[in-house]
A and B are shown apart, each in its own frame.
Chain A
C-alpha cells in the first residue's frame, strides 16, 4: 500500500473557524491549527492534500495554511449533510487510492518524536489495509467520539482487528458491543480523528448517501462499521494524544499540551505554578 494523499474535513457545523484559530507551536511560533494539521500530514510524507470546506471559505484557509498553501486542493460541501457526505466530496481527489484522513477540529501531540500521522501511515503500509488510529478513552467521554470494538491482533502490541464501529455510543451499548480485551475497565478504543482508508470507503459512503433523502445527514462511523464487515480493517494505538479543540476549553488544553511538549516547557510550567499560586 502506498499513501500519498490526505483529506482533511473542515466543513462541519460550527467548525468552520476552528482550524483557523491561532496556536503557538512547539517552537514558540504563532501559527494556525490547520497549519499544524498540515504539518502532521507532511511529516507522514504526503504532499497532496484535499480540504473539504464550507462554500466561500477557501481564501481563509489558504491564508491560514502558511507555507503549505500550495499543497492544498479545496472541495466545498454546499449542503450540510454530515461528516460522511463531507468525505465523499473528496472522492475525485482520492482517485481509487488509499488516503490519509484527518478531522480539522483535532490537534495531535506525539510522545515519540514521530508525528502521529506518520506512525499511522507506517502501520497501514505494513499491514496493507485500512487502519484507524484509536485512543483508549474513559466511558464518560463516549458521547464525544466514535468507538470501535474488536480483538487484539496476536503478538502485535496496540493493534486491533475492528469488528464494530459505533458513533457516540452510550456506555450501555459500548459495554455490550465494544469491549476490547486488554483494555482497562470502563475504557474504550475511541477514534483519534485520523484514518488511513482504502478507497472502498467511498463505495460505502456513496451507497449510504443514495439510500437517504437528499436533506438527510450521515456520518462516517456507520460506513466504517460496514467497512469492518467488508474487509480487513485495523485500529492502532499511536504514541501520541489527540485534543478536540471543538470542546469547551479544548483549544486551551491543546495549546497547553503543545507548549508543554515544546521548547518553552519550563516557562509554561512556571507560569502555571504562578497562576495556581495566585488563584
Chain B
C-alpha cells in the first residue's frame, strides 16, 4: 500500500511537469476517482511538498488547483463520519489577510494533530484555491510590468523624474490664443468566438496554442436613436491655460480638476476612475508616482510647461454596461492612445496606429485595468485594431519576460484578415444578417472566468473536451467567413453556445436568453440562422443572425419581443435597463486620431461644462475659457441664421434646457414610496424611535453583540440528535404516517430579494431561474414545489405548501402560485411589516469596516475599496446619519424586517387560521429558507421531531469554512442558536461545530401556546397582534448594513451600504419557555445557496444531483 500511495502523488506531479500534451492534459478525476482516504491524503502530502519547492509559478498553480480539488471534491466523499473539525482562528485570520501560505500551514498543522475532517478540508480547499488565483494574478501583473515600454513608469517616482514632454504641436496656439485638440475615435470589439473563454490571461499563458479568438471592430448606432453607426468611443486631449489636470467624462456627466498627485490615484473619489487609470497607464502621471505627495502643477510644468495644464475628455456614445463589447477596455485603450500620441510615445501623431503602436497601447490598457482594479480578457482591446482579426496566444520565447515562467506570452498576436481572406461582400452580409442587441441584463462575469480557469487548469475531462470542440468551431467559423457563408456562421455560433460553452459553464446561459432564442426560432424558423453569445455570458450584449431578407423586420420585432420578455421576467432576473437593438458597421481603421486647431470638443462637452462656467464671473475665468465661451456663443448665434450649422443649433437648445431651471415638482417616486410604506404596514412611530436609538448610539452594529461576559461554548453530544446515520431509519414510519395523514405542511420563506445573489440588484429570489435541472431552467420555488410534489407522489398526500412573501415578492409570487400546477394546496402568506432603510451612521460604517472580520482584497482592489469607503463616509455624513434613505426606487428604499416576522405574519394575515380550519389535522410546519435547496419533508427527520415532543426542532449542519454567521452554541450553559451578529467575540464562532440551516420543524399548537394563543384565538386579530408584540419585544433587534444598488444613466450602477433592522427566527431558541431540540442533518440537506459562485461547486460535488432526485418535475 505505501508504494501505491506514493505513486498517486508521483503520478499527479508527472502530469504537472509534463511538457507533452497527452500526459499534461490528464484530468484529476481520472487519477483520483475511487481512491481511498489514505491514498488521497498521501497524494496531498506529495503535492504540498512539490508546490512548496517548485520554482515555476505555473507548476505551483497547477499543484494548488489539484490540492484544492482533492479537498473540495474527493476527500469529503471519503470523510463521511468525520464531518466536524476545528478551524484554527489564526489560520482563518491569515486567510482573511491574504496570507494564504501561512493559512495553509496553520490548517495543515491542525489536520496533523486532529486528523482530516470535512471542516478542515473546506478550509484547505479555500486557501489553496485563493492562493492559486493570487499566484496567477501576480504573474500577470508581473508580466504587465515587464512588458518593454511599461517598465520605466514604475521607476518614475517624482515629478522631477518625469521624462515625457508634450508634443510641440499641441502647444501652438491659434490667432485667438486657443490650443488645438487631439481627438481619438475608437471602435469596440465583437467576438465571433473566444474558443471557450480562452482569452483569459491565465489560460493564454498556460496553453497558448488553445488561446484563439476571432473578433471584429465595430461602430454602433442605437436603432431609432442615432442616424448611422459611428465609433462609439471618442476621447480628446488639449492644453489648457490653468495648471490643473482636468478630467472630463461626458457620458457620465462628471468633470474634475485634479490638483495633486494623490488625487490621481484616488479612483473611487468620483466616477472618473477609468480616466485616471488611463492617465496613469499612459505615463502622464506614471504608476511609480503613487505615494508621492506632490502637486499636479509640478508634473504639468515638466510635461506641458509652466502655468499650463492638460484636459483629458472621454465620451462613450450610449452603450450601456454589460454590452459584452469590451467598452471599458477600449475606452481605456482610446484614452491611452490619445495620451501616448500627445507625448510622442507612439510613432503616429494622427491617423491610425502601426502594429507596434497598437501592441504597446494594448499592453498599457492591460496595465490600466490592473491599476483600476478591473479585469478583462486579452482580446478586449480588439477595438484598437481594424476590421476582423484572428487573435492567437503566443508561445514565450527567449527574450520575452515570460520565458521560463509560463508557456505563453501575456500579449497575443493579431492577424488582421485582408479582403482576399474575408471579402467585403462577406463583411456586408454580416452587417445585413446580424441583429446586435443589449438584452438589458447586467451581470458580473467575474465568477464565470474563475470557474473556467479552475476547470481548464484541472483539465476536467468533459470541460477539456468541450474546449477542444470550441477550438474546432473557431476553425470552422474562420472557414465559413472565408467562404462567405453567413448561414454557416450562424449555425456555428449557435452550436458553440448550446454545446461547448454551456458544457463548460452552464451559467453562461439564462432563462431570458433561451426564451428569446426559442421565440426567434418559432417566429422565423429557418430564417433564424443562430444565436451568437458575445463576451463572457449571455443576457446583455448578444447577437441573433437572421436571413438578410428579413433582418430589418426581425430587428424591429426582436426589439419589441425583448421588451415584452423583459417585462415578464424583470421581477426574477437582474435587468439593469430596457433592451436595445443596435445597428453596426465593421470599422476598417481601428483607433484613429485627428488633430485640429479648429475642431470642437466631443459632443456633449459644452452642455456639461458651460453651465458651471456661466456661474463664474469673467475675472474668474482663464483667458482660454473666456474665449471658448465667446466662440461657442458666436457659433450658436450663427447657427440661427445658417441652417447648415445644425450641430450648434441643437447645442443651443440643449444648453438652454440644461441651464434654465425646471418647475419644482414632487417626484412620483417619493409619493409612490409613501403609498407603498402605508400599504405594507410601515410603523412610523417605531421608525422614529429606531432613528433616535441609532443616533443616540443605543442601537448599532456594536450593540448587536451579546455582553462580553457571555460564555460561548460548543454544544455537548447530548445537546444534539444526529440524523446523519442509519439509526433514525427505524423511526421513518412515524414520519411517513404523519405526512400521509396531512399533519405536516411546508413553509418556504420567500421574502428575500437575493441581495447577495445579484449584488443588491433586487429580484424575487424565489422566482429566479438559477439552474437547469432535468433540462430546464428552474426557479428556487419551482424546486421546492417539485419536492413537495415528490412527497405527495410517494405518500399519497400532497402536503400543503405555504410561501411566505414580503413587500417585494408578494405580487410576483402570488401570480406564480396561482398558475403553478401544484396538485396540493399552495398558499401565499403576505408580509405585514416593512422598514424604511436609513443612511448608515459613521460609527456603524467604521465598525463594519474596521472591527468586523473581512477578506482583504487584492492589492489594487483594496486600494479601490479604501478609496470608495472614504467616499461613502462623506456620502453618509452629507446625507445625514440615520436619515431616511429615499434616493432610489421606492422598492429599494424599503426593507424586509427579518424572518422572525414570517410566523407572526402567518398568524396576523389569517392564513394559519384559515388553514387550520380547512385542515384541522395539520399539526406541524417545516419552515425553511428559499435557498436551502435540500430541505424536504424527510420522514426520518420529521419522526425525530415528532418523537421528541419539542416545540421547535432546528436542523443544523456540520460547519465548513464558508458557513459563517453564527451557529449552535451553549450560551451561558444553555444550548441555543446564536447569530454571528450577536457573537461577543468573532473568534468564538470557531469553537462551534454546527451551523444553523434555518430549517425548523414547528409544533403549531405548542408554538401558539408560547404566544399565549390557541387555534381558536387565532381568529381574534387584536389578541394576536398583542401576542406578537409581546414576544417580539423580548427578541433582540439587530442593525445590519445591506448593500443596495442604485441604477442611473446607461446601465450604470452604484452600490450603497444602508442601515436596516431585523429580528431573526433563530433567536426563538433563546426563549426559555420554548422547548427546542437540534437535529444534525447531512450537509446537502441544510446547505444554503447564497451566491452564484457557489453554483458550480454545488453541481460538481453531487449536491445538485442528490437534490434533483428529491424532485418530481411533472409540471410543464
Q: Which residues of A contact B (CB under 8 A)?
A: 139-143, 170-176, 179, 185-186
Contact = CB atoms under 8 A, between A and B. Distances in A.
Contacts of B678: none
Interface in B114-151: 148-151
B148 A139 contact: no
Nearest to A179: B148
B873 to A, nearest CB: 38
B148 A171 contact: no
B283 A172 contact: yes
A173 B348 CA distance: 13
Nearest to B282: A172
A139 B283 CA distance: 13
Contact of A175 (B152, B343, B346): B152
26 contacts: A139-B155, A139-B156, A141-B163, A142-B163, A143-B163, A170-B163, A170-B344, A171-B164, A171-B283, A172-B149, A172-B340, A172-B345, A172-B346, A173-B344, A173-B345, A174-B152, A175-B148, A175-B150, A175-B152, A176-B148, A176-B149, A176-B356, A176-B360, A179-B148, A186-B152, A186-B155
Interface in B150-180: 150-153, 155-156, 160-165
Contacts of A139: 152, 155-156, 163
Interface in B222-267: none
Contact of B160 (A140, A142, A171, A175): A140
B162 to A, nearest CB: 7
A179 B149 CA distance: 11
A175 B151 contact: yes
Contact of B360 (A141, A172, A174, A185): A172
A176 B364 CA distance: 14
A258 B152 CA distance: 32
Interface of B: 148-153, 155-156, 160-165, 283, 340, 343-346, 356, 360
Given A171-B164, A172-B283, A175-B148, 11 more contacts: A139-B152, A143-B165, A171-B152, A171-B156, A171-B163, A171-B283, A172-B149, A172-B152, A175-B149, A186-B151, A186-B155
Contacts of A173: 149, 344-345
Contacts of B151: 175, 185-186
A256 B151 CA distance: 34
Contacts of B346: 172
Which 10 A-B pairs rank lowest in CB-CB distance, beginning with the nearest? A171-B152, A172-B345, A140-B161, A172-B149, A140-B163, A170-B345, A175-B148, A171-B163, A176-B148, A176-B149
Contacts of B152: 139, 171-172, 174-175, 186
A180 B346 CA distance: 21
Contacts of B283: 171-172
A143 B345 CA distance: 12
Contacts of B164: 143, 170-171
Nearest to A177: B148
A97 to B, nearest CB: 36
Contacts of A142: 163
B1094 to A, nearest CB: 44
Contact of B343 (A170, A176, A186): A170
Most B C-beta atoms less than 10 A away, residue of A142, A171, A186: A171
B461 to A, nearest CB: 43
Nearest to B347: A173
B681 to A, nearest CB: 64
Nearest to B340: A172
B351 to A, nearest CB: 18
Nearest to B156: A140
Contact of A185 (B155, B163, B340, B343): B155
Contacts of A176: 148-149, 356, 360
A173 B283 CA distance: 13
A172 B148 CA distance: 7
Contacts of A179: 148
Contacts of B161: 140
Contacts of A140: 156, 160-163
Contacts of B149: 172-173, 175-176
Nearest to B344: A170
B414 to A, nearest CB: 17
Contacts of B150: 175
A29 B343 CA distance: 44
B855 to A, nearest CB: 35
Contacts of B360: 172, 176
A41 to B, nearest CB: 32
A70 B710 CA distance: 103
Contacts of B162: 140
A279 B161 CA distance: 25
Nearest to B164: A170
Most B C-beta atoms less than 10 A away, residue of A140, A174, A179, A185: A140
A155 B153 CA distance: 33
Nearest to B359: A176
Contacts of B155: 139, 185-186
A88 to B, nearest CB: 23
A139 B157 CA distance: 12
Contacts of B340: 172
Contacts of B356: 176
A209 B152 CA distance: 35
A173 B267 CA distance: 28
Contacts of A170: 163-164, 343-345
